[in-house]
A and B are shown apart, each in its own frame.
Chain A
Amino acid sequence: MVFSSLVFLCIFMPVNLFLYFIIKDKTWRNWVLIISSLVFYAWGEPVWITAMLFSGVFDYFNGLMVEKYHGTWKAKAFVALSVAGNLLLLGIFKYSGFFMENINALFGLSLPVPRISLPIGISFYTFQTISYVVDVYRGEVKAQKSFFKLLLFVSLFHQLVAGPIVRYSDIATEIEHRRVTPAGFSDGVSRFIVGLGKKVLIANTAGELALTFLNTDYGRLPVTGAWLGILLYSFQIYFDFSGYSDMAIGLGRMYGFTYKENFDYPYVSKSVTEFWRRWHISLGTFFRDYLYIPLGGNRRHLTRNLLVVWFLTGLWHGASWNFIIWGLYYFVFVFIEKIFLKKILDRLPSVFSRLYTLLVVLIGWVFFYHTDMGQGLRFLGVMFGKASAFTNSEVSIVFRSNAVFLIIAAIASTPLAVRLFNAIKACFKDNRARIAFMDNVFRPVINILILVLSLAFLVGQSYNPFLYFRF
């Protein structure tokens, strides 16, 4: 199930909220969450829910063992077992087909290529359980003694299918004790609605329009069409993913969990390094804490460490060469920035550094979108003038039909709206009634509007693809 489906919104969520809040007992509440999470997952993945349950049992056991043998080599062995087991699970489901294809291509063989469909969310929950076992080993958290509480962490439907990658340490105390206040619940709802609006109103619309230019014969795509297409795709992917993260964070708050932020307006970044500090933060910090720093970080083998991290970041996004190239592409920019470019960028007016970053990111999405590298290069060629025409009527009609939409999407990619809201509140300084009006009437009314519009568009568009299912 995905959050932006009518079944989730009108059936699952009301039933779940009702059961959760009618029950006061903590243990039973956790049961409500576990059972509904399993239903939620099984709705989309009726068979491979077994893989997730396996991951849960496996790392429950590993966590206990690591703690039991704390300080001995055995603890290390169980960490290794956990990492190997989870990566094996991920490898089988996600990469075995890709691996065999490459073996075949490399050695001219024709071994059978397994075609396994990717279980939903496996890229996320395997990383979550790895982080749990490693954190136990590092002594940052205590091992969870109750299997069902660990299962709650692994299966929690808020972040199960599309992240953010929540660490056990972030919510360890909230699994045991959490308080839901009316204010917290309301904040959660607001956040959820914003995410829903991002996904339904912006990402889906942009995705539909992007197809006009990306799903076409590049031999006849004009230059402006390619740029408009990749811009729309950039909106689609950002609002899709960050909208989903917002919904997850919002849901968490509604039930008393606090998840960390996953996106921080990445498209306003002034360098590629900064972009990656603002984009999919939970993935970046995962690689930082569990790979980059253990490898030696900035102190030893910097180039190798960066290369490994970016190669794997690319590969994590999908079992295909274009994702690897996309990752290595970022390695190049992050590396150059580390050596000298960052110093120059810092001195430039921010307009230039922002444009530079946007350009790098837009071109990055070209690699990301095209699983067929030849097509990707052809598309890049069109962007930079190797096209039959500079522009045509189709582009100008699509542009004008959607200019207002594009402006809204562009503004929503920046913190402008939030800043404006806060600035207005700041003007009211001591007038508490007015500030209360802004917080308790104005903003909620905007949210209700977004909710109603999103529901209408969900009914109106049966087109509701979910991009991050690939990961």
Chain B
Amino acid sequence: MLKVAYFPGCSLSSTAKEYDVATRLVCEDLEIDLVEIPEWTCCGATTAHITSELTAAALPAKSLIWAEKHNMPITSPCSACFSRLKMAHLNMEKDPNLKKEVEEVTGETYNGKAEVLHLTRVMLEKYGLENIKAKIKKQLKGLKIACYYGCLMTRPAEVCENDRVENPMIMDNLVSALGAEPIKWYYKTECCGAAFSLTKTEIVRKLSGDILKEAKTCGADLVMVACPLCHSNLDARQPEISKLLKTDLNMPILYFTQVMGLALGYDYMDLMMNKHFIDPKPLLKSKGIL
């Protein structure tokens, strides 16, 4: 059984509860053992690195050190947490002085051995696409999905490792494996506005609006994401964006583990899809998936 250190992150215990629930359900089915890191602290997300380089490295370091000690790869379903964990690991590798300072402030040593993986990679590379295929109970035929990766799981190039930085395919491959159709579009890695949700909301409305418009133009039924920040910008802000653009976008935004959950036979309420602002029920019903 594949054992992985699990860093859920703050959002997954509040605004993105449904992502956590779906992730745990899917991992149970795939027999991936998610071991939640005890007493994990916030990764610092979008603010630490613009305030203090040391804070940005020290906050994730505690979790990295735990994973290293317990000899497990560390993963987070949240792209922001993943990015901070990965960047802290890479920055300490690049800058020994930073590593030294982190060790001084945390009072613990880090040997640089933690393997930081995004949850998509744990599933597709560690667990394997073929193995996922074998578990599928329901093919998601007829569903056109725009895979949206955003910034944090793809950039800078070092964090996306085996995948292409400009046109990543890992989620598209997953969608194909589930029997749905990944649409060809080029806004996969455009920015949604990320951390500006509360501070510079007008920017979020523009950037997320562009992404939603493009997905609609390219014929997507829904947008699949792997990040609670992207989700809240594309989903919770969507009514405002629709109003701004003077169209009804009505584009459901689902987490990738929710989409997987559908293929594994879970239903609407199991995956807490009722939490979304844009209700995917009518769409999924019309496609005969629910």
Decide if A and B are genuine partners. Answer: no
Chain B residues within CB distance 8 Å of chain A: none
Chain A residues within CB distance 8 Å of chain B: none
